Amino acid sequence: MMRHKWWLTVIALLAIQLSVIGQQTFPLSLSISQFRADSIRTRVEVAYSIADTHLVHQIHSSHPDYAVVAAEIQFFISSPAYSDSLTVVLESTKSIRDTTCALLVGKRVFLLLPDQYTLTVRIRDALRQRSAVLERKIPLVVRSLSERSVLSASSIELAQFIRYHNTDDVEQKNPSFVKNGFYVVPLPSHTYEGTAPILYAYTELYGLEQCRCDSIQLHYRILDAAHNEVFDLRYVRPVVGEAQAEIISTSLDGLASGVYYLTLAVERSTKEELLLGRQQFFLLNPELPPQQPTVLSEDELFLQSPFATMDNAQLEVEIASARFIARATELDPYFQLTDIAAKRRFVFRFWLQRDPDPSTPVNERYEEFRRAREYAAKFYRTPRFPEGWNSDRGRVLLKYGFPTQIDRAYFNMDGAHPHEIWRYDNVQGGVIFVFVDQQGTENFVLVHSTALNEIRNENWYRQFAMPNYLDPNARVR
């Protein structure tokens, strides 16, 4: 009975995690990794897997001792400026006497320009008559990895195993798993099982010329659910070019079942580390049930937060950008503070109130806000708004997050000014924001929205987008 309860606890734990990423009722596990493709495009790898127990087994037509399973998977990737789709069939054959659960794994690659996309995946049982079609939509922000003047890394791709590529190895039969001399079998579920499973990870490092050295020191850490360090691994790797592949394998022996994180950082001469990536994974160890992570105190959380070492200039940016989401007078006490330590603690507590899980050092809400601010600073910068995030588009991005969809109209047959329509499906039941660049300076001004307490003008197109509307001599179209 105790063993049964322990497995229920593990299943409940993973169900909570999977429900967050939308896989609770979707039988296909998905993972998305991003790598540099060329000077402008990003290689987006979509790995997927499904247990054959989810599919109908059909006796092989030529070999009655074998059964076949097959899943039909459709991929649709779309943005305002791009669309692509493909259909694949994932199938497997095994002996009818084999009652073990087998995992069907595949991968598809898309070469995309940095932008915001929507990935739609549909799956059906290819051998089941009148099979239901299950669908899942995933917002996808494709980042740029073409910058060569900055040390950076691709996604950390977790794998079932990694070997040197060998054409004579009969197990290495899927060409999509081959890259940079390695055969990398993906693990889309990010779940390792057993008493001593091996974690495999593949990463690509870019901008290594910035190190100006013959070798680089890499630091891997495994953190528990509370982001406490479980153990670490340090390696010295030779630098053989501007970009190179990096792999590790390490035993998870002795770790209890639960949620963990693998992080990768590079050690620099200043003794500071540059964090290159982080990837979540799950562990199911039948001999070690989950443990309750240690809850950190406020002081411990503060010391591990980015606010603990911010200078006055950084704090001013934090306060200036936080006003977009703060309550009316919430930030007023900050301007009465003179001590930098008090200012740091004030900003920390501002975000602590918005932390969805205060027991962990990472504040997910702040990290989402910070990513939006960095995105706005990079793409919405204009001479009038050099910071980018304080423009109209920047304000909306910081307050409401990344939109579900952006419709861009930059070149219009009727001569209308460039404009963008942002759509949010999960805000107030669905709202839009309309921005128009009236002066041709790439400063898109908010002219209409259906959100509460935002500017509303149903006549926005005629009044702001159409050229020469205010000119009494202009022809009205």
Q: Are residues 37 and 130 in the same domain?
A: yes
The answer to whether residue 312 sits within a structural domain is yes
Rounded distance between C-alpha atoms, residue 366 and residue 348, angstroms: 10
- What tens-digit pLDDT sequence spans the chain (477 residues)? 334 444 444 444 444 343 333 334 688 999 999 999 998 999 999 999 999 988 998 998 888 889 999 999 999 999 988 999 999 999 999 888 888 888 999 999 999 999 989 999 999 999 988 888 999 988 888 988 888 878 889 999 999 999 999 989 888 999 999 999 999 999 999 999 998 899 999 999 999 887 778 899 999 999 988 778 898 999 999 998 899 999 999 999 989 999 999 999 998 765 678 889 899 999 999 998 887 656 678 888 888 889 999 999 999 999 999 999 998 899 999 999 999 999 999 999 999 999 988 877 788 899 999 999 999 998 999 989 999 999 999 999 999 999 988 888 887 766 788 999 999 988 888 899 999 998 888 899 999 999 999 999 999 988 888 875 544 444 433
Q: Do 94 and 28 share a structural domain?
A: yes
Q: Are residue 11 and residue 53 in the same domain, yes or no?
A: yes
**In a domain? residue 390:** no
153 shares a domain with 139: no
In a domain, 397, yes or no: no
C-alpha 446: how far from chain center: 28
Examine residue 288 and state whether it is found in any structural domain, yes or no.
yes
- Of the candidates 35, 7, 55, 335, the residue with the CA atom closest to the CA atom of residue 206: 35
Clarify whether residues 186 and 245 are in a common domain.
yes
Q: How deeply is 303 buried, as exposed, middle or buried, from its count of CB atoms within 10 A (0-12, 13-18, 19+)?
A: middle
Domain contains 73 = yes
Q: Which of 247, 268, 293 is the last residue of a domain?
A: 293
* Domain tally, the chain: 4
Whether residue 62 sits in one domain with residue 46: yes
259, 293, 327 - which closes a domain: 293
User: What is residue 287's DSSP assignment?
Assistant: T
pTM: 0.62
116 shares its domain with 257: no
CA distance 383 to 207: 29
DSSP H helical ranges for 124-169: none
Hey, is 372 helix, strand or coil?
helix
Please indicate, yes or no, if residue 474 is contained in any of the structural domains. no
Domain end among 104, 127, 146: 146
In a domain, 25, yes or no: yes
Query: Is the domain of 284 the same as that of 313?
Result: no
Is residue 273 domain-shared with residue 350, that is, in the same domain?
no
Q: What is the CATH number of the domain that holds 63?
A: 2.60.40
Q: Which domain holds residue 341?
A: 298-374
Residues 6 and 136 in one domain: yes
Is 280 in the same domain as 170?
Answer: yes
- Whether residue 7 lies inside any domain: the answer is yes
- 121, 69: one domain: yes
